Amino acid sequence: MGSVGDCFDNAVIESFRGRMQTELLNRRRWKSRFELANAIFGYLEIFHNRQRRHSALGMRTPIEYEILYANNQLA
């Protein structure tokens, strides 16, 4: 993260938002806000955090990375 006013301030969230837009939001039309909210929740909790590999984490899922980090902290 950068300092206040740095051009890299929002890079992480902007990258995530663009990826979510491409992989989820632009693929269909949503009938209600409730349906959209459920789809976003499923995308985050099931796909993004448990299945999708991230290059910034060494091509691991966030869950795998957290487990690896916790094991390294104990050692």
pLDDT at residue 60 is higher than 80: yes
In a domain, 6, yes or no: no
- Per DSSP (E only), the strands in the chain are none
In a domain, 5, yes or no: no
In a domain, 1, yes or no: no
- Count Cβ atoms below 10 Å from residue 64 Cβ, excluding itself: 15
Taking the alpha carbons of 53, 55, 60, 64 in that order, is the dihedral positive or negative? negative
In a domain, 44, yes or no: yes
In a domain, 29, yes or no: yes
In a domain, 2, yes or no: no
Segments forming the whole domain that contains residue 68 = 11-74
**Statement: the pTM of the whole predicted model exceeds 0.75:** no
Residues 3 and 22 sit within 8 Å (Cβ to Cβ) = no
- The count of domains in the chain is 1
Nearest CA among 10, 64, 47 for reference residue 39: 47
In a domain, 57, yes or no: yes
Residues 63 and 50 sit within 8 Å (Cβ to Cβ) = yes
pLDDT at residue 7 is higher than 90: no
